[in-house]
Structure 1
């Protein structure tokens, strides 16, 4: 079991970086001895989970097979595109579904609208929980677990330079729970706005966050209330399909 945990630690190190890493750096970030790390990398490389060249180690093409299997077998990921297509058509905005992945969130389904964003957000991209649709996920987390994820920070800065205290952030999470949706402007990317809502099943269990996003200059974001209702309806429709 310990060997499996160490292999996962190594894979998580490689998944978290956008550039290849040298052996010594992989070992340092994984908290493992260099020799142990080398053995793990060799085994993973033999199975296509890791690749290497002159610049270092990176995740291998075989990791795509696991991602594809998740998208094909996960009921939420498989069902979401149809609802997102309807939402994107109704609003003209890019519609997405995000799920929590530890201290981050990941997009598992996405449909572009007629007013596309000016940046590409690949399926599986890790994003923070304190910005945009991430706040919807944070709002429904256990308070103690949220404290652990936040890591004791007192404040953070959004993309537009706005500084947000932890107290203000917690107040916003309470507003999300009460209102059922949240509008975000220029938080993660300057020039982009979004409206997100929770996906909650019939048992009251939080499953994911659903969002529409577009350019901040889009008139729909001037008064996001209608978008909030639209996204909530889409969330209810998707929840009824996944159970």
Structure 2
């Protein structure tokens, strides 16, 4: 049976509203309406229901909405023993302290990558990595790792995906994937964002199955190719240790 026939439209819309807050702390009715593509009256009714259940709070002064305490109650009951984002956090902090740059953990979700954990650099000028951010799979060091170690089927789906940007060389990307598999490391310099650089390694579990991509990112003038090469052993060793900690 088609999965789309099993979903409930009102539930989907309510969840879409909650997902608006993955990269914003508070939003107006108009902003939410624009993000989910629904009429204000519909969004207002859904927000009222979410507010009654404690998932959304409304500030009467600003008339903006933010996540309610029920969201935090749910997150408190995450199974920490099974959640890589929580299990690996101490190792990510250790790596951040060793290299001095922002450390992120990415997983693949369809044709996107999602940042599920991040430890920000302590430096004044740094790469800020919001948790929950979704990014394309066709660009960036972590994307290369997630695609390179996911198997040929994922690679072919990505290359044939309609979102593939015009002008982006597929052959060059495939060559980068092969290099990432060989080296266990991928790099990017100003591929997705001007002035930013990153390098990434795979976290593989006991069965040698990809769990996530571990990445270090920072300003390109500080995270130079030579600097990434120098710190690559630290990143790869951290990824190896993390692989022994997850299923």
TM-score above 0.5, yes or no: yes
Q: Deviations 1:172-228 (Å, cap 9, x if unpaired)?
A: 222211211111111232222111011011102110010111221126533532322
Indicate conservation of the 8 Å contact 2:121/2:127, yes or no. no
1:47 aligns with 2:53: yes
Partner in structure 2 of residue 206 of structure 1? 210
* Equivalences for residues 99-118 of structure 1 within 5 A: 99-115=107-123, 117-118=125-126
Partner in structure 2 of residue 194 of structure 1? 198
Match of 2:95 among 77, 87, 92: 87
1:51 Cα deviation after fit: 5.2
CA distance in 1, matches of 2:163, 2:83: 35
* Equivalences for residues 18-37 of structure 1 within 5 A: 20=28, 22=30, 28=37
* Equivalences for residues 54-203 of structure 1 within 5 A: 60-61=67-68, 62-70=70-78, 72=80, 74-115=82-123, 117-132=125-140, 133-148=142-157, 151-155=161-165, 164-203=168-207
Between 141-150 and 49-58, the greater mean CA deviation after superposition: 49-58
Note the residue ranges of structure 1 that are not aligned, 5 or more in a row. 157-162
Note the residue ranges of structure 2 that are not aligned, 5 or more in a row. none
Partner in structure 2 of residue 11 of structure 1? 15
Query: What is the total number of aligned residue pairs between the two structures?
Result: 234
Indicate conservation of the 8 Å contact 2:105/2:117, yes or no. yes
Q: Deviations 1:118-146 (Å, cap 9, x if unpaired)?
A: 34322222233223222221223344445
With the length of structure 2 as denominator, give the TM-score of the two structures. 0.74
Indicate conservation of the 8 Å contact 2:189/2:198, yes or no. yes
With the length of structure 1 as denominator, give the TM-score of the two structures. 0.75
Q: Provide closer, same or farther for how the CA distance between residues 119 and 24 of structure 1 changes in structure 2, counting only shifts above 3 A.
A: closer
1:154 Cα deviation after fit: 4.6
Q: Provide closer, same or farther for how the CA distance between residues 12 and 147 of structure 1 changes in structure 2, counting only shifts above 3 A.
A: farther
Secondary structure of the corresponding residue to residue 164 of structure 1: coil
1:227 aligns with 2:231: yes
